[in-house]
Every structure is written in structure tokens, then in C-alpha cells.
Structure 1
Amino acid sequence: MSNESIRETVREEYAKAARRVTVQGGACCGSAAPAGNPITSNLYGDAETASLPTAALAASLGCGNPTALAELEPGETVLDLGSGGGIDVILSARRVGPSGKAYGLDMTDEMLALARENQRKAGVQNVEFLKGEIEKIPLPENSVDVIISNCVINLSGDKDRVLREAFRVLKPGGRFAVSDIVVRGAMPADVRRSVELWAGCIAGALEESEYRAKLEAAGFERIEVEPTRIYTAADAKGFLAGNEGLERIAQMADGKFMSAFVRARKP
């Protein structure tokens, strides 16, 4: 599948997710999933969600809580890559305060419309949603203090370009602080293709050492990959229902796929 095909498939799936969010909620990578989804559930504390619009929480398709883990400070400028329904942008805006700013970047018109409506309902002013692709960020170089993202980089067909763009727009000393799906260790190609429907959906997750290498190649330093949730065979069965060889695939996936917090700095 070409990068353009991946991009269009992602765009279509997330447009569908935005349209159905008020009916049945969302799931990692834009798919419908049952309640209790081990990837997307229980990522935010009650104090964070209490004042959020219901649609913002329902449209959360992520695998972590980068706004909390990024340790945002008042006055900082934050960019969320693949901002979806806007939950992490709204939370970031509140953390950086009126002297700071939070940008959300998304390529899907339906998600952007949902995010702007959620912004209006939340009453936050220091937010701007931008239409664009994470492989070509529509901001100048050295303009952002912190880049966050929530289970989106794994969907890109050109992750090297995403990381180079992130490096470009960060200020010197800026922080890359994303939640993403990461693979640990080798896995047979046929198994990996099936599990990608669960963990990566379109382009698939990077192996941990590969993620580190790509960040280094983009120019980043002080790279850390911190597991936040490691998925079990039982988790995999819920997402792979109907796939041939389910039991074998689930057992081989056991403990190899994880949500992780990926940190790095621009020198």
C-alpha cells in the first residue's frame, strides 16, 4: 500500500469515527470497539474529564494521556499531531494557561469540525485547529515548545518525514512527548499483519529500537520509551475476533505490543 493510499484510508476511517462518535463512541485507529477497550479506556482522570464536553471524550481514539505525561508549563506553545476530536488540545490549553497556546493539527474535515465544536463548548480561547498532514506541518520552524500526539504516528506511512517535521517546528530545547503503539521484539510477518489491524490499523506500529533509531536520525537526543500498557493475549482476542488463526495470533502477540510514552528533545 502506498503512502497516499494509507493516508486516504486513514482519512476515511477517521471521518467515519467522527460521524458516529455521538452514537457509539470511538476506538483506537478510528474503529468501533466494545466498552472496556483496553487500548482507549481509562486514560484520563475524573478531574480532567469532568469539565470536558461529552463528545470530546467519546471521540478520544488514543492510547495514552500525553498532556499529563508531557509536564506542560504555563506559557508554552503545544502542538498536537493528529488532534482528532480535540480532547488533548483542550487539556493542553488549560495546562499552558492564557499566556500559552495549543495547536491541533488534523487532516480530516469531520474531526476538525467536531474539535472546534468541542472547543466552543469547553470555553477555551487559546486554541487553534489547523488542517494539514503530520508529514507536512503548517507551522514555521522553531515555533513550538512541545509536540504531543496520541496514537497517531503509528498510522503514518512516512514516519521518518513526520519525525523530521516535528524536529523542524520545535524550538531548540523543545520536547517531543507522544503516546504511541510500539512493538517489542520480532514477530512473524503474517502475525504482524493481523495484529496491525488491532494496534496499528493501517501502517502499523514501529518496533522499539526502530523508533529510537528514527528519532536519532531526525536529530533528537535524550530518547526514552516508557511502556504505559502492555497488551495480553486476552486483549488481542477482543480485537481480532473473526480473524483466521485467532488463538495462535493472540498468543504470539501476548506482551509484544504496548502503549508507550515516547520522549525526546531537540538540542
Structure 2
Amino acid sequence: MTSSSTSPPGAERPRRVLRSGLARTASAGVFALAGLIFWVSFNTAQGTDLRSDDPMLRLPDLIAERSRENGTLESSTAELREEVEALAEERDEGRSAAERRRAEQLADTAQTEEVSGAGLTVTLTDAPSDATARLPGWPEPEPDYLVIHQQDLQAVVNALWAGGAEGIQVMDQRLISTSAVRCVGNTLILQGRLYSPPYEVTAVGDPERLREALDRSPAISTYKQYVEAYGLGWEVEGHDDTTLPGYSGPVDLQYAEPLD
């Protein structure tokens, strides 16, 4: 999964267009830059191995380790939240019915409460790595055409919200107002956790309205062209009854601060 994509002629995604003269010029520049990098690397290394066993320098391993740590922290947070809720229930015994209803409405809005009901699950899957064009007029695929992109998942989530979803879960993560679907390379990072395809998005709501919202989305229509052309996965499964757990992670906003 990547945050940007290319596409064949006629599709809505942007496409790289290379003209022969420009390509030759760019290739010469790339080879010159590669030679410069090799020369600098050789002089910097002075015969030493530039690889390192330091785990802090292995970014994929670091991301995976942080994902596991976040999973452990989420479990601890969920247990603490249950204790807090039990104490809050004891305290709320003296509150009025109106105050209790208000508290329940706020919990629903914050997506911290379990939600159950009819709904559906959308599953998106990468195409086979050896896929070929299935439709007349479509070019043979580049690797970029065969993977799920960030905008594909975002389109599904946005369509389900527009269709009146009461709650949405991506993989095993309940979404809240600050949740962001982001990709690094070919993987999804959601709320500090790392995921690989196939990707499942489950929503609770009126299944008919949710399906209609999916069908109305222009971005999903584009994705479906790639499903037909190259074999990307698309499946929508309805549920008579499904349950999404409440969000149990931290709710503090994360932001950067400038150094002194």
C-alpha cells in the first residue's frame, strides 16, 4: 500500500507519462547521481561495513516492535478503562436519569461503547503479483496497479460514514474522530498498530444504505475498474447482527513541538 498511485489511460488515478527524450535525460541524471553516491559511500565507509546489527537502524523491525508494544499497551488500557467504568457506574447511581442519558450519548459519540446490530464487512485484497491485464485496451500492470492504496481504504471508510454507519472497525481497531488511515510502504499503520492485506472494514448500520453509499463513491468506482482489469480483491458481506467493541486506546491528541 502506498499513499499515491498510478493508473492506466481512462482511469481517474494520475498516471506517469514518460516521453522518450525526457526519459533518456532522466536516465543519464540517475546514473550520474548513482555514481556520486557510490563514490561518497566508498570514501565514507573506508572499508567498513555500512550494515549494522543495531535494531534502531532497522526501520521495518522497529515499526513491527513498536506495533507489538502498542498492542500490549492497548490491552492494559482496556483493562484500566473497565475499572474506571465500574467506578463511574457506582458514582452515577446518584445521578438523575437525564444526566445518565447525556453520559451515554457522549460515550456513543466518542465511539468508546460497544455497538451491535446489522451491518456489513468490506474486504480489499492485493492482486496476484503475476497478474496480467484482463480488459481490452488496458496496459500490462505496473506493480503500483496491483496493491491496495491508502485512498482505497479511505474511500471505503468515508463511504460507510456517509451511509450512516453507527460505528466502523478497520481490522481489529475501532475508529474514532481522530483515527487516521495511513500507509507506510505496502502496510497500514492505524493507531500505532501495523497491518498487512487483506484489509477488512466492518460497519454497523443499515446494510442497504451502506451498500448504496459504497456504490455512489467515485473513488470506489475507480477501484472496481482495477478489480476487473487486474484482479484486485473486493468483497462485501452483509451481517444480520455483528458487534464492534468500543475504542479502548488513548484519546489524547498527539502533536509535534519545536525544539528549543
Q: TM-score, normalised by structure 2?
A: 0.23
